Structure 1
Amino acid sequence: MRGATIVDRITESLLDEFTKEHEISHLPEEKRFEHFSSFITVRRHYGESFDTEDIVVGSGGDTSIDGIAIIVNAVLVTDVEMFSEMAQQATYLDVTFIFVQAERSANFDGAKISSIGLGVLDFFSDTPRLRRNESISAAAEIMSAIFAHSSKFKRSNPTCKIYYVTTGKWVGDSDLEARRKHVIEDLENTGNFSEVDFTAIDAATVQKYYRETKNAIAADFVFANNAVIPDIPGVTQAYLGFLPFSEFLKLVQNEDREMKGGLFYDNVRDWLAYNEVNTEIKTTLNSPNRSRFVLMNNGITVISRTVQPTGNKFHLEDYQIVNGCQTTHVLFDNKDVLDDSVMVPLRLIGAQDEAVINDVIKATNRQTEVRKEQLFALQEFPKELEIYFQTFPSSQRLYYERRDRQYDRSEIEKTRIVTPANLIRAFAAMFLKEPHRTTRNYAALANKVGEEIFVKGHRHEPYYTAAFALYKLEYFFRSGRLESKYKPARFHILLALRILAVGDNLPRMNSHDMERCSKDLMGALWDTTKADELITRAASIVDLAAAGDFHRDRIRTEPFTKRIAELCQAEIARSLPK
């Protein structure tokens, strides 16, 4: 609400903290509250770090929507090409649409509830009538692509979640409740959704949601059928046993009845959908013989940094499932037909020693089809990068996030957190000359992990350099120093930046020459004046190559990448003394 101010001092304080951590102090309060509200609501459904710039859509033509997040198969989708690639490879689509309206007002407005509902309905309409801004249109394009693949809605239709955030107090006013329920009914009547939620978030809930973003993943459950494992060096405590299904759910399900984010952040394998093995598990669970599951399945292995038993009641904090990803997904997918006749084998290990944790992960995944170089790339190299990134002074320091929510409780600028996917994209763009694959064919990049990316012997410097270059570039976008039109070509700008700074030809990734090359580029990026000049020159070259047309079909191609390199080389040649 324009013109309003936050009157709740606690919420105002939390907003100030969020503003500092996300480096958005240059924005007016109303925009900062939109980012804040979008973050605390979407974070409940998505465990990995994300940039609220990618989901905040509020401006003229926002159809009464300030934030939109589209989550497909546990991935935040921000680009239609990103989804198209996922759809080609996925055997199923599990989709959640999240809409956020943020008002600083101390009151809930019935007319606003109705306008939110109208905006969301119009978003899904085949013939939309409301004027849309560029961000709404981009999100709607992703939505249309998703419904074009509705044959892959094998688990269920998408879910739709709406959050109306204010700093007031929700008391269940009958008129407001009637309007809220009417919005839900209108969306349910479209037949597009398996579930529709409309949640009014008041000041107390805002504070609760924000504090939850700072907490480690936690669970309380009853583990009656357990045996204590004798003392093991490096292990605080360990148990073997089995859980009734209802207690197992407490480990993996949040209060929204969704799978908790960050459960598998150190697991080597991702959910493989219903392959032959997982189909067999599902068949067993849906048969009269489901009680035999405990005899036929290895169950799950959980490592927790805090284990607090009180009799048979256990409290875990900061835990992860390091083996049993497939089992967990199949059990969760079939939760509505299961009862406590299904018992789940559990190996629970309390440990804080990283060496012990890594050894357990390696051992429990040896029986999988994971090559040694993949294990190194997925376990050892990221750990080395995490340590290396934190060796720099505070102004140059970045934080590599090996595990989802790893830095939630840390009072650091969240813009300095580097996710694995973004590091792979930035490194491939700058040092492998493949910016065109960062979105359009990201799977091809991911397949290079262990072969050309995260390889044993690679210098750490180029990875940090790529991450810091992306951090600087994103700062330019956030602060408005670089127009948003360049965002589709952000990774091409990184390539141009590197060529302009250190030339086109690169030394081997494991050489001392690569160390020197990377440090030259680091020095330029750390120097504010030089970095400003470098990014501006790189953006100008990309603009010249695009001829003002930044449509993805034009720029996300190999010929466009080659054109960038040619223009950079020409620029370098012109700057050489005659």
Structure 2
Amino acid sequence: MLAFGRELTSHHLEAHSPPARRGARLMDRVTESFLAEFVEEHELGGMPADKKFEHFAAFIAVRRHYNGEAFSTEEIHTGGAGDTAIDAIAILVNGSLVVDVESLSEHSDLSGHLDVSFIFVQADRGAGFDGKKLSDFGFGVKDFFEPKPKLTRNDAIKNAAEIMDALYKNGTKFRPGNPICRLYYVTTGTWRQEPDLEARRAAIDADLRSLEIFRDVSVQCIGAEPLQQLYRQTKNAVSAEFTFSNRTLLPEIAGVSEAYIGFVSASEFLSIVSDDEDELLASIFYENVRDWQDYTAPVNDEIRETVLSSKKDRFVIMNNGITMIARTLRALRRDRFQIEDFQIVNGCQTTHVLFDCRGKADDSLQIPLRLIATQDEEVIKSIIRGTNRQTKVEDDQFFALTDFAEQLEDYFLALPETYRLYYERRSGQYSRLQTVHATRIVAHRNLVRAVGAMFLGVPHQTTRSYQSLRESIGKEIFAKGQRLEPYYVAAYGLYKLDVNFRTQRLDSNLKAARFHILLAMRLLANSDPLPRMNAHEMKRYCDRIQKVLWDNTKADNLCAKAAKIVGRAAGGNFNRDNIRTQPFTERVIALCQNAGT
């Protein structure tokens, strides 16, 4: 491994780094209030102050690039002994947050390509930037990518490195190029671009680029003011302003405030769908049933050929165009519009091709656009269904739009506030509501896993074989006529289990087997035979488990007892190859049954 920073090593620069002023206030009032709000929403009150700030910084840095399903910062936090000066690592693959190496095959198999970003965070709640910490952070990140790392790693770093290794072994699938590497050094101070600190930052950037395994590297030092701005952005819906001159207002439609059909220039369209850092806004595609298919889909090759050809002016009459739904639309002046909380529900493939060819797309290229402004969920659902009829019904994102999923969301909301959870049918629908604790938001994918583990008895399929579990949607789970109670019980059981991990009542080593613990919790709380998912008896069966889960003391004892049984089944070996197998599941079931005799 090259000496970090070449001539600008931490030893050469350490003496020149300005120390933080004595007596300096650690945190300004605004940042302090934002941190307090975050801690409350994510139920992190029991953590030490430095750990709270690490989670805060990690959330903000990752949310800048990821607006998908609700996630827990526990999944990306790495801070502690053996953290190699890295407090958090997030790995984004095709717009999804990947926290487990087993789930990689799902992203690769579904799309055939891998668009990867690595996000690293170092957080210091002090009111200044420390040159040595910055250099150590950069050294730790570079060591993370070394085939033979020199630094001692904790389990969280090892897990992230395992994902990284698996990704680079599939490097032929990288699109549109090698991964992006982003580093965020976050403090509550002010970045003044002091020469010595800037030299360290530039050295980190140069050394990471020298590895020649990234298409881009970004090293950012974030102080209090930009940190506050980024936190505010996590609370705001995505918005855009654009010129829409060539449009026709459609006649009045029930449930729709306004609707237009027309066309916009390529540059205008790209300004809507990309951010200030020239990244495609992944969050605007979550209601589009089909993900980006890369150029393995022949139609995408044809779109690209047209965009790059001398006949690009025909694109407007050859392409089906883009269907965009905005929950807020404002006319600013003449032909200028502002849209907020918008989604592309049809045209994902076209948008990705246009973005990929953005350097060669001039304004002779016109994009057909259908713009619909509505806040009516029924209208939105019908548009998505109507514009995606060709999509296979197995897609779990599509099932999130069904009547059953809507009934499920309503059922969760109808429960007493103390025990209420929020089933997120539409990605991000609850994330900006200050009245909703982030820990109580149930992502659709996590609910599928929880129900699969707890009521189908297949916790070993929740990650490694998630694709097969997903195929049961609409058949064994999320099927019309099934009881709603088991879905809530599974979600609330997972919530209580996560509380026990977050408060360190349970050893973090057990996290690899958390879905096995969830199954054990059901078997211990109710040893009666499991009724069918659509049987009336299922309500009584779940009520018994729910009564335990709603009692904090009993719930904590249940989690502890279930974890102990899973630990016995593991025999101290929490390696995923041991845990995530059917024989291990069978051992857990047998031990639970014996515990009740």
How would you bin the TM-score normalised by the shorter chain?
over 0.9
- The aligned counterpart of 1:241 is 262
Matched, 1:170 2:191: yes
Amino acid aligned to 1:297: N
Displacement of 1:291: 2.4
> For 2:341, which of 315, 318, 337 is the aligned residue?
318
Q: CA distance change for structure 1 residues 31 and 438 in 2, over 3 Å: closer, same or farther?
A: same
Match of 2:272 in 1: 251
2:58–2:88 Cα contact (<8 Å) kept: yes
Matched, 1:510 2:531: no
Cα distance in 2 for residues equivalent to 1:526 and 1:237: 45
Deviation at 1:522, TM superposition (A): 1.1
The 8 Å contact of residues 400 and 425 in structure 2, kept in 1 or not, is answered as no
Q: CA deviation at 1:71?
A: 0.8
> How far off its partner does 1:111 sit?
2.5
Residues in 2 aligned to 1:369 and 1:46: alpha-carbon distance in whole angstroms:
26
Task: Return the alpha-carbon distance in structure 2 between the equivalents of residues 380 and 194 of structure 1.
Answer: 43
TM-aligned CA deviation for residue 132 of structure 1: 1.7
What is the identity, as a one-letter code, of the residue corresponding to 2:380? I
Shift of 1:290: 2.3
TM-score scaled by length of structure 2? 0.92
Which stretch has the larger CA shift, 463-472 or 495-504? 495-504
* 1:20 has 2:43 as partner: no
1:388 to 411, 417, 427: 411
Correspondence 1:70-89 to 2 at 5 A: 70-89=91-110
Report the AA paired with residue 510 of structure 2. Answer: Y
Equivalent residues in 2 for 1:363-374 (5 A)?
363-370=386-393
Q: Give 1:564 deviation, angstroms.
A: 1.2
* Matched residue type, 1:78: V
- For residue 291 of structure 1, the aligned residue among 310, 313, 318 is 313
Equivalent residue number for residue 505 of structure 2: 481
Query: Is residue 453 of structure 2 the alignment partner of residue 433 of structure 1?
Result: no
Distance in 2, Cα, partners of 1:196 & 1:210: 23
Name 1:576's counterpart in structure 2: none
In structure 2, C-alpha distance between the alignment counterparts of 1:151 and 1:489, rounded to whole Å: 32
2:117/2:181 contact within 8 Å kept: yes
Percentage of pairs with the same residue: 53
Q: CA deviation at 1:297?
A: 1.0
Partners of 1:119 and 1:557 lie apart in 2 by 34
Contact 2:287/2:397, CA 8 A, preserved across alignment: no
Q: Per-residue displacement from partner, 1:238-273 (whole Å, max 9, x unpaired)?
A: 100111111111221122222224212222222233
What amino acid maps onto 1:428 in structure 2?
Answer: G
Q: Which moved more, 1:364-373 or 1:295-304?
A: 364-373
Task: Tell me the residue number matched to 1:405.
Answer: 428
Q: Summarize the Cα distance change of 1:143–1:504 in structure 2 as closer, same or farther, 3 Å threshold.
A: farther
1:64 is matched with 85
1:1-21 alpha-carbon deviations (Å, 9 max, x no partner): 9x9973311101110110000
Equivalent position of 1:136 in the other structure: 157
1:345 matched to which residue of 2?
368
Secondary structure of the structure 2 residue equivalent to 1:179: helix
For residue 305 of structure 1, the aligned residue among 324, 327, 350 is 327
Q: Aligned with 2:514: secondary structure? A: helix
SS of the residue 1:386 aligns to:
helix
> Which amino acid is 2:531 matched to?
P
Q: Which residue among 501, 513, 523 is the counterpart of 1:499?
A: 523
Q: CA deviation at 1:26?
A: 0.6
1:372 to partner: Cα distance:
11
* 1:128-207 alignment, distance < 5 Å: 128-207=149-228
| 1:44-90 CA distance string (max 9 Å, x none) | 11112111011111112222111111111111111122224544554
Aligned pair partner of 1:279 in 283, 298, 301: 301
Equivalent in 547, 553, 569 of residue 529 of structure 1 = 553
Check 1:409–1:90 CA distance in 2 against 1; reply closer, same or farther (3 A cut). Answer: closer
**CA separation in 1, counterparts of 2:375 and 2:186?**
38
Secondary structure class of the residue paired with 1:390? helix
Secondary structure at 1:232's aligned position in 2? coil
* 1:258 partner SS: coil
The corresponding residue for 1:210 is 231
Match of 1:41 among 53, 56, 61: 61
Is this contact kept in 2: 1:157–1:192, CA < 8 A? yes
For residues 173 and 410 of structure 1, what CA distance do their matches in structure 2 show?
Answer: 39
Partners of 2:396 and 2:222 lie apart in 1 by: 47
In structure 2, the partner of 1:424 is 448
Q: Is the 8 A contact 2:381 2:401 kept in 1?
A: no
In structure 1, what is the Cα distance between the partners aligned to 2:395 and 2:223? 50
Aligned residue pair count: 572
Once structures 1 and 2 are overlaid, which stretch shifts more, 426-435 or 70-79?
70-79
Residue 26 of structure 2: aligned partner? 6
Do structure 1's residue 32 and structure 2's residue 52 form an aligned pair? yes
Q: Which moves more between the two structures, 429-438 or 55-64?
A: 55-64
Structure 1 unaligned segments of length 5 or more: list them. Answer: 574-578
Task: Confirm or deny: 8 A CA contact 1:15 1:33 kept in the other structure.
Answer: yes
Q: Which residue is equivalent to 2:6?
A: none
Cα distance change, pair 64–386 in 1 and its aligned pair in 2 (3 A): same
Describe the SS at the equivalent of 2:117: strand
Of residues 358-367 and 474-483 in structure 1, the stretch that sits farther from structure 2 once superposed is 358-367
- Cα distance in 1 for residues equivalent to 2:364 and 2:543: 60
Distance 2:415 2:149 in 1: 51
Q: Report Cα offsets for 1:123-149 as digits up to 9, x if no partner.
A: 111121122222112211211111111
Q: Residues 5, 506 of structure 1: CA spacing in aligned structure 2 closer, same or farther, 3 A cutoff?
A: farther
Quote how far apart the aligned CAs of 1:303 are: 1.1
Instruction: State the partner residue of 2:488.
Output: 464
Partner Cα separation in structure 1 for residue 129 and residue 395 of structure 2: 56
Indicate if the aligned counterparts of 2:569 and 2:587 stay in contact, CA closer than 8 A. Answer: yes
1:355 to 378, 383, 397: 378
Contact 2:256-2:372 within 8 A present in 1 as well: yes
TM superposition shift of 1:561:
0.8
State the Cα deviation string for residues 457-492 of structure 1 (Å, max 9, x = none): 111111111100000000000001111111000000
For 2:310, the aligned partner's letter is P
Q: Deviations over 1:177-233 (max 9, x none)?
A: 222122111111111010000111110001000000000111111111111112112
2: CA distance between counterparts of 1:510 and 1:378?
Answer: 20
Partner of 2:577: 553
